Structure 1
Amino acid sequence: MAVLTPQRSAPDAGAAGREPRRLGFSQRLGRWDVKLSPYLYISPFFILFAVTGLFPLAYTAYVSVHDWSLLGGQGDFVGLTNFSDVLAQPTFWKSLGNTLSIFVLSSVPQVLVAITIAALLDQNLRAATFWRMGVLVPYVVAPVAVSMIFGRLFADQYGLINSILTLIGMDPIAWHGDRLASHLAIATMVNYRWTGYNALIFLAAMQAVPRELYEAAVIDGAGRIRQFFSVTVPQIRATIIFVVITSTIGGLQIFDEVRMFDVYGLGGPDQNWMTTVVYLYDLAWGDQHSLGRASAVAWLLFLLIILIGLINFLVTRRISTSDAAPKTTRKSSTRGNA
């Protein structure tokens, strides 16, 4: 008995030779909209960044390799001469040391106090909104006003701080004469203005921590301090790193507080508190009127910030790697037991 197998019909010659249908203009416009719309939505940021960020950076590099005077304008191409001249000046190295000293005295206490204030504001307080907005008031005040107020507080002869020290039997401090004392005074201004701002950033991160973790810690018998170090700090590690990096960038660019600390605004007669940005200002608009050297200082400061940023990145990567290693070991041991 023969079995009949179905035969496949031959393909339609007309269908095979039919040309593909052309898309209309509205369909092509819809495809372009899907492909190009995301880039158009984010383009304003990149355009603004290119105009206000990349172009000044590139133009500053162009000025730094020319003998560019404030009064005479662009001069001859000098290559890296401006950089070598700046590195040969002792004032540059002294300003760099002052910048790093003020940065350490301001950023480290600032982060510690900010995270402590954020932990207190994260508790069940009465009028919590009032206290949370209150810590932001110093950030709203203009930097010039803050510098003028603290300049009077830290005045050498009639300042409030020295009056209190004299009242309790201590010797007055030469805030404008001693190098370390001037750094402490300027760091106090910076901490007053930025501590509350960073505290709100930490507070936002703490409120995003799951409350179930705190409930489990309470069941395990952990107190408030143990909860802070075992639950809060590990959960907001990324925010801590962000605040440290932003504080580093801002701390290396201190200008307003130093500029308003005395009448002349150039870091004192011996440049005891002259920062690198103030030194840059003096090169461009001071006695030298050299925009080329000032641009060289700007690029050296930019490279220093990049270097410190890379160090922070490597430290962050090392911390994340060390945290991931025990988890991997724990998973492998669990699989082996299974």
Structure 2
Amino acid sequence: MPTAGDSELDTPALALLWAARETGLLAALVDGAGDEREAADAAGVTERAARIVTDALVDLGFLRRVDGAVEPANRALGLLATRDLRSVGTVPAALDRFDAYAELPRTMESGVPPVDPDERVRHRLGAAAALDDATVEATVDAALAANPDAERALVVADGPGRHARALADRGVDVTLLDGPAVIEAVEPLLESTLVTLRAGSLVDVEAAFDLVLTVDGAWRQGVEENRFTVLAAAGALSPGGAVVLVEPLRDRSAAAVEVAAAALATGSGEPYPESTVAEWFVDAGLAGIETSDVPGTPYQAVAGRLDDSGI
């Protein structure tokens, strides 16, 4: 969720950290360039800029001063490596979003958002891994409310599998479905859990699940992609099963403006109104469509069930 688990950095702090990353000053500082004068030379920025940014990063806890030099503090760990997604945290993804917002005028002109390199995908997965437990549990509660007796669940595009793991902890037999690159990246996080990993597409999934859950997926996609996703999700249900989309609805969510900006800057979707999402469910042959707020979050859960006959 873009509004949950975010870095506590405000806009000025993000701007300083982003500028330091873009100029190479951040790399010079965390790679042990010595003091800010040497870092300024390495990055090609003024000594004044290096001094001000270094002081700010010390105050923010990313750097510390030792014997006249600066070195990375624990908070900078996620800026140094992305191999272990649990160490990435939320800051790199927050910087990526800031970068995407800076490019928003060009994106609005071209209609084509910047392509995420592999490193940024790992940043996004790291931020998702840092999602707070209360939000995860509230989301899973909302999903299970659509089918409390669910025994088998398919969780789609759940990245590091926070919701999949929470469902498995409730005794549900869970499969996490995502693209091959994401599954490869998150496998180390989930290899010791009861979650089954599957790389592929919804169209390849046979009907066998009592619950299909997607979180934060619809606003990243266009209308036709979402229509197809809900149809394929319905096709993966066993009779009486439910599809649940947990999303920030444009006409109900306090996060709608924030999500609209993120969608415009990074993808092809937008926050959709409740009526549009319900239409996808109807078109997929789902009934008993209901929308509920997810407590403690600005998100809503839209749920629909497949008739017990499977028709």
Aligning the two structures, in what range does the TM-score lie when normalised by the shorter sequence?
A: under 0.3
**So what's the TM-score if we normalise by structure 1?**
0.25
**Structure showing greater relative contact order (alpha-carbon pairs closer than 8 Å, 6 or more residues apart):** 1
Larger Rg computed on CA atoms: 1
Q: Which structure has more helix as a fraction of its residues?
A: 1
Q: What's the TM-score once normalised by structure 2's chain length?
A: 0.27
